[in-house]
Chain A
Amino acid sequence: MANHSQFGFQDASSPIMEELVEFHDHALMVALAICSLVLYLLTLMLMEKLSSTTVDAQEIELIWTILPAIVLILLALPSLQILYMMDEVDEPDLTLKAIGHQWYWTYEYTDFKDLTFDSYMTPTTELSPGHFRLLEVDHRVVIPMESPIRIIVTASDVLHSWAIPALGVKTDAIPGRLNQTSFITTRPGIFYGQCSEICGANHSYMPIVVESTPLTHFEHWSSILSS
């Protein structure tokens, strides 16, 4: 989860999020270069006299056409690479469904057993010590770590969005439509997210919690849940 007054991304816990953070750093460096240039040009303009006799400037026109094209290529290439990488769904080990309701999530694990449960936010008055306000839920999404997971997201009533910043996942939940996304958690842990599409009065109170555990713990959890 994010710390108080956190400005940057959360630590990446999936390969896609690592790539997104790398691309973000790259884009910021390009932005720094451009801002430095613009700042310098602005300073120069402030010191120039306002009279100008320039009627024709072919060289500078060439420069300020080619340079932005180069900048766009520098940004577009890694961006497209990550975009296509995000769309790869490579033989997932587990498929689960997330259904958005007003105002909770339902998760279905139907690969091996018929496991279905609802996930409601834990009210602030019922939080245990050490738990996070407006982020904890009664039933977490437990997944095996370092395994490709496919998640199919939909909604039953209005638009919702299933998002986990630390994993780089955000998928719209649209009634009547199945949206697919996949991710791999690189380490065990608990990852928090919140509904990311306005869906009514309690839009801010339907969080998502993903618990990534070793496979043995996941098997143990699923056997307890199914019994």
Chain B
Amino acid sequence: QSFKLLGFLDVKSVPCARESVLYGSLGSLVVGLGHFLATSRVRRSCDFAVGGFICTMLGYWFYCRYNLAQHRIRQRMLKEGMRNKILFEGSSLDPERKQTGDERSDS
């Protein structure tokens, strides 16, 4: 079953969404409560809490998605490398053979 935040963001199936919202909530609590404890101004603390929520949520979102994108690129490179190894193993196009050949010629 999916849980859609505000009716449209499925936090369970979207990678990084759940963590972003949770960290955003934590950031909102910390910033809002911290501001209130420091200044005792309720209205301004609420403003800071909402701002903290948005900034923390988006900040973690971009960080997590960047890492996810790098992970996916590494996954694709690994998949490509594994396929090339299986395809070309033992043939003249085998990258490992080329590497070994270079080492022999250097020595």
Contacts and interface: CB of A to CB of B under 8 A. Distances in A.
Given A29-B20, A31-B8, A35-B6, A40 B50 contact: yes
Main secondary structure of the interface of A (DSSP, over half): helix
Contact of A36 (B14, B53, B65, B69): B53
B57 interface: yes
Contacts of A30: 58
A186 to B, nearest CB: 9
Given A26-B65, A29-B17, A37 B50 contact: yes
Central interface residue in A30, A32, A33, A40, by most chain B CB within 10 Å: A32
Give the residue among A26, A29, A30, A37 with the most B Cβ atoms within 10 A. A29
B9 A32 contact: yes
A36 B50 contact: yes
Interface in B1-42: 5-6, 8-10, 13-15, 17, 20-21
B50 A32 contact: no
A13 to B, nearest CB: 15
B61 A29 contact: yes
A22 B64 CA distance: 12
B17 A37 contact: no
Interface residues of A, number: 15
B54 A25 contact: no
A32 B14 contact: no
A25 B17 CA distance: 8
A21 to B, nearest CB: 9
Contacts of A32: 5-6, 8-9, 21, 57
Interface string A11-31: 000000010001001101111
A29 B53 CA distance: 13
Contacts of B61: 26, 29
Contact of A29 (B9, B46, B69, B72): B9
A107 to B, nearest CB: 28
A156 B104 CA distance: 63
Interface of A: 8, 18, 22, 25-26, 28-33, 35-37, 40
Interface of B: 5-6, 8-10, 13-15, 17, 20-21, 46, 50, 53-54, 57-58, 61, 65, 69, 72
When A and B form their complex, which 9 residue pairs have the shortest distance between CB atoms, in order from nearest? A40-B50, A25-B14, A33-B54, A28-B9, A32-B9, A29-B61, A35-B6, A33-B58, A37-B54
Given A25-B17, A32-B6, 15 more contacts: A8-B13, A25-B14, A25-B15, A26-B61, A26-B65, A28-B8, A28-B9, A29-B17, A29-B20, A29-B57, A29-B58, A32-B5, A33-B58, A36-B50, A37-B54
29 contacts: A8-B10, A8-B13, A22-B69, A25-B14, A25-B15, A26-B61, A26-B65, A28-B8, A28-B9, A28-B14, A29-B14, A29-B17, A29-B20, A29-B57, A29-B58, A31-B8, A31-B9, A32-B5, A32-B6, A32-B9, A32-B21, A32-B57, A33-B54, A33-B57, A33-B58, A36-B50, A37-B50, A40-B46, A40-B50
